[in-house]
A and B are shown apart, each in its own frame.
Chain A
Amino acid sequence: MFEARLSQGSLLKKILEAVKELVTDANFDCSETGIALQAMDNSHVALVSVLLRAEGFDPYRCDRNMPLGVNLNSLNKILKCAGNEDIITLKADDSGDTLGLIFESPNNDRVGEYELKLMDIDQEHLGIPDTEYEAIVRMPSSEFQRICRDLAVISESVTFNVEKEGIKFTSSGEFGTGAVTLKPHTDIDNEEASTSIELTQSVTLTFSLKYLTLFSKSTPLSDQVTLFLSDNVPLLVEYKMDDSAFIRYYLAPR
Chain B
Amino acid sequence: MGIHGLHKLIGDNAPHAIKANEIKNYFGRKVAIDASMSLYQFLIAVRSEGQQLVNEAGETTSHLMGMFYRTIRMVENGIKPCYVFDGKPPTLKSGELAKRLERKKEANKSLEEAQETGNSADIDKFSRRMVRVTPQHNSECKKLLQMMGIPVVEAPCEAEAQCAALAREGKVFAAASEDMDTLTFGAPVLLRHLTFSEARKMPIDEIHTNKILEELGLKMEEFIDLCILLGCDYCESIKGIGPHRALEFIKKYKSLEEIINNIDTKKYPIPENWQFKDVRQLFLNPEVKDPKEIELKWGSPDVEAIVNYLVHEKGFNEERVRKGTDKLEKHLKSAVQGRLDTFFTTISASNTPSKRKAEDDKKKATKSKKTKTAETKSAGAKRGRPKK
Whether chains A and B associate is yes
* Proximity bits, A155-184, B CB within 8 Å = 1, else 0: 001000000000000000000000000000
Interface residues of A in 119-154 (CB under 8 A from B): 119-129
The answer to whether the Cβ of B271 comes within 8 Å of any Cβ in the partner chain is: no
The answer to whether the Cβ of A250 comes within 8 Å of any Cβ in the partner chain is: yes
Bound together, the chains give a CA A73 to CA B377 distance in angstroms of 9
The answer to whether the Cβ of A9 comes within 8 Å of any Cβ in the partner chain is: no
**Structural contact, B376 and A74, CB atoms closer than 8 A:** yes
- B344 interface neighbour in A73, A123, A129, A206, Cβ under 8 Å: A129
A17 to chain B, nearest CB (A): 19
The answer to whether the Cβ of A45 comes within 8 Å of any Cβ in the partner chain is: yes
User: Whose C-beta in chain A lies nearest to the C-beta of B377?
Assistant: A71
**Structural contact, B340 and A125, CB atoms closer than 8 A:** no
The answer to whether the Cβ of B87 comes within 8 Å of any Cβ in the partner chain is: no
- Which stretch (B21-29, B141-149, B157-165) binds chain A? B21-29
**Structural contact, A124 and B352, CB atoms closer than 8 A:** no
Interfacial chain A residues near B337, Cβ < 8 Å: 45, 208, 252, 254
**Structural contact, B386 and A120, CB atoms closer than 8 A:** yes
Q: How many chain-B residues does the 8 Å CB contact rule pick out?
A: 40
The answer to whether the Cβ of B335 comes within 8 Å of any Cβ in the partner chain is: yes
**Structural contact, B376 and A117, CB atoms closer than 8 A:** yes
Give the interface SS of chain B, mostly helix, strand, loop or mixed: loop
Interface residues of B in 334-376 (CB under 8 A from A): 335-347, 349, 352-353, 356, 363, 367, 370, 372-374, 376
Residues A122 and B353 in contact in the complex (CB < 8 Å), given A25-B382, A42-B24, A71-B384: yes
Residues A67 and B356 in contact in the complex (CB < 8 Å), given A24-B382, A126-B347: yes
Interface residues of A in 67-100 (CB under 8 A from B): 67, 69, 71, 73-74, 95, 97-98
The answer to whether the Cβ of B109 comes within 8 Å of any Cβ in the partner chain is: no
- B370 interface neighbour in A47, A95, A250, Cβ under 8 Å: A95
The answer to whether the Cβ of B200 comes within 8 Å of any Cβ in the partner chain is: no
**Structural contact, A122 and B349, CB atoms closer than 8 A:** yes
Select the residue from A24, A95, A157, A206 with max chain B CB neighbours within 10 A.
A95
Interfacial chain A residues near B19, Cβ < 8 Å: 122
**Structural contact, B345 and A127, CB atoms closer than 8 A:** yes
The answer to whether the Cβ of A233 comes within 8 Å of any Cβ in the partner chain is: yes
Bound together, the chains give a CA A253 to CA B340 distance in angstroms of 9
**Structural contact, A254 and B335, CB atoms closer than 8 A:** yes
The answer to whether the Cβ of B383 comes within 8 Å of any Cβ in the partner chain is: yes
B360 to chain A, nearest CB (A): 8
Bound together, the chains give a CA A1 to CA B335 distance in angstroms of 49
A16 to chain B, nearest CB (A): 15
Residues A121 and B345 in contact in the complex (CB < 8 Å), given A42-B22, A42-B25, A157-B335: no
B: residues with CB less than 8 A from A are 16, 19, 22, 24-25, 27-28, 78, 335-347, 349, 352-353, 356, 363, 367, 370, 372-374, 376-377, 379, 382-387
A-B contact pairs, 23 of them (CB 8 A): A44-B28, A44-B339, A44-B341, A45-B27, A47-B340, A71-B377, A74-B377, A95-B367, A97-B370, A97-B387, A98-B372, A117-B372, A117-B374, A119-B377, A120-B384, A121-B383, A123-B349, A124-B346, A125-B346, A127-B346, A234-B343, A250-B344, A253-B338
8 nearest A-B residue pairs (beta carbon): A43-B27, A252-B338, A25-B384, A126-B344, A121-B384, A119-B384, A117-B374, A125-B347
In addition to A42-B25, A125-B346, A126-B345, 4 A-B residue pairs with Cβ atoms within 8 Å of each other are: A45-B27, A120-B386, A250-B344, A253-B338
